[in-house]
Each structure stands twice: as structure tokens, then as C-alpha cells.
Amino acid sequence: MEGHTDWVVSVVFSPDGMKLVSGSHDNTVQLWDVETGQAIGSFEGHTHSVTNVMFFPDGKKLASGSHDNTVQLWDVETGQAVGSALNGHSDCVNHVVFSPNGKKLASGSDDNTVRLWDVVTGQAIGLALGGHTGSVTNVVFSPDGKKLASGSDDNTVRLWDVEIGQAIGLALEGHTNSVTNVVFSPDGKKLVSGSYDKTVRLWDG
């Protein structure tokens, strides 16, 4: 599948597996037909490299984060931006993820914060979630959508209560290098993190 003019840094399948979306350092998001391998849409609007792309749970929308410090929502059918870019971060947005019910979006940034957004209104929910002392590399919702986990270049994982916008307990410490990925188990009772320290750690969720 060719179409981007610079590095492709993020790819994800649609929920039904029929489409694929990719984000690139060429500032664009591309939509592909999995069966034919052909490009079926191009989403342009970011002014800097796209870092991460994610499908809405029903596959009708996309979200993308960028080095331009914004998050953008896109309509898959029309290829148009949904509302204005979500502004609030003061540095590169590294990761975006929808809540399981699709009502919220979370973003992690090089400004060391996590932000929550209302998908319908495009407005920030509460204040930025601060506590990390390094770039937030990854964010993930628990299966029930009540908690959020974030990994960071500060070598820690943090848990957040989505409803009240507060940290749950202290930072989870143990890694000796940047945390690159965090994932909840399907039942939400466990959390796993991967790191540049070449280890995987399992935590109580």
C-alpha cells in the first residue's frame, strides 16, 4: 500500500476489519480498503507529523494526534474534520484512545499530561491530568471505561479515575527506562506494561 510520502508511524484496523488507517510524518492520515489494498481516503489538516491514529468504536470516526500539539476527529465517510482541532496540550500528542463507549477520548503528550475530551462537544473534560515528570507515551482505558492508565518516559505507570479526573494511588514504579505501552486485561483486573528496559511488568488494575 503506497501513498504516504514520509515515515508511517501508526496503523490500526477498523472494528470490522474492512478498513485500515495509517498516520505519517507527511502530516496526513490515509484510509485504505483492506480487500483491494487501495487508498480510499486522505485526511489532511494537521500542520506537523501525525503520531497516532485510532478508530472510534463503531468505525465511523477517527482520531489522530500530532506533533502540532493537537488532536483531530475525522468523519470516515466524508473524509472531513469533525469540528475544530482539540487544543490544550502544549507539546506533541503521542497517543490517543477512545473510551469503550465512544463518549470520551484520552490523549497523552510530551507536555507530561493526559487530557480527557468529550467526543460530542470537542471540549476538554476538566483540567489536564498531571503527575508524570516525563512525556506520556501511551494511554488506555479499562474495559469498563472507568479507569485510565498512562505510561511515561519517567519510567512509571499511573492510574486515573476517569469520572473525577484524579490519580488512583501512587505511580507504579519498577521499570528502569521509558514505559512504551500499557494494556488492561480483558476483565480489567490486571494491567501490563512494556518498557525500553526490556521487561514486561504485570500490575493489579
Mean pLDDT on 147-161: 98
DSSP 165: T
pLDDT interval class at 136 (50, 70, 90): very high
Spell out the residues 6+ positions from residue 43 whose beta carbon is closer than 8 angstroms to its own.
Answer: 28, 29, 30, 31, 62, 64, 72, 74, 79, 81
The residue among 189, 182, 184, 194 whose CA lies nearest residue 204 is 189
Contact of 81 with 45, CB cutoff 8 Å: yes
**pLDDT digits 0-9 by tens, 34-46:** 999 999 999 999 9
Boundaries of every domain in the chain: 88-204
Mean pLDDT on 114-141: 96
Output the CA torsion 107→159→145→193 (10° steps).
80
Domain 88-204, CATH 3.40.50.300 — does that match? no
- Cell output for 68: 502540532
pTM of the model: 0.93
| End-to-end Cα separation, the chain, in angstroms | 38
pLDDT interval class at 2 (50, 70, 90): confident
pLDDT at site 24: 95
Alpha-carbon dihedral sign for residues 176, 165, 148, 204: positive
Q: Which residue has the higher pLDDT, 77 or 195?
A: 195
pLDDT at site 111: 98
Distance CA(101)–CA(161), nearest Å, equals: 16
pLDDT at site 50: 97
pLDDT interval class at 154 (50, 70, 90): very high
Distance CA(151)–CA(135), nearest Å, equals: 9
**pLDDT digits 0-9 by tens, 68-123:** 999 999 999 998 999 999 999 999 999 999 999 999 999 999 999 999 999 999 99
- Cell output for 160: 486515573
- Angle at Cα 97 formed by Cα 91 and Cα 98, nearest 5°? 130
The mean predicted confidence, pLDDT, of the chain is 96
pLDDT interval class at 3 (50, 70, 90): confident
The residue among 38, 41, 35 whose CA lies nearest residue 55 is 41
Taking the CB of residue 104, how many other CB atoms lie within 10 A of it?
Answer: 19
Mean pLDDT on 183-197: 97
Spell out the residues 6+ positions from residue 198 whose beta carbon is closer than 8 angstroms to its own.
Answer: none
pLDDT at site 94: 98
